[in-house]
Amino acid sequence: MPFRYVEESEREDFEHELRRRNRSLGDFDIVDTQARFDPPGALRGPVVSEVTIKSHINGGTRTYSRGGISISTDPLMRWVREFVTDLDAGVFG
């Protein structure tokens, strides 16, 4: 499984969006980071986590910040929605 720190519901949403577009996890290299304080070492501050996705088709790469829902009634996590927007725009081939 390419995800180590992403919640199961986020992973399911991501995979669902891939299937809707006839794509698969095998089309991508995916690296997600463990949540950490920003700046590193701070005892308080924003918690940051990222997902980096690279296409095997064209090498297109994007890094998405995790941690918020879309501003709307959209139930997808913001990073999943941003990925879908980029995928539909051809960023990943």
In the chain, where the domains are located: 8-88
Omega prior to 39 cis, within 30 of 0: yes
Question: d(Cα 30, Cα 92) in Å, to the nearest integer?
Answer: 13
38-55 tens-digit pLDDT: 556 666 665 668 899 999
Question: d(Cα 68, Cα 70) in Å, to the nearest integer?
Answer: 7
Q: What type of residue sits at position 59?
A: G
Residues 8, 16 contacting (CB under 8 angstroms): no
pLDDT band (50, 70, 90) for residue 21: very high
Question: d(Cα 50, Cα 35) in Å, to the nearest integer?
Answer: 8
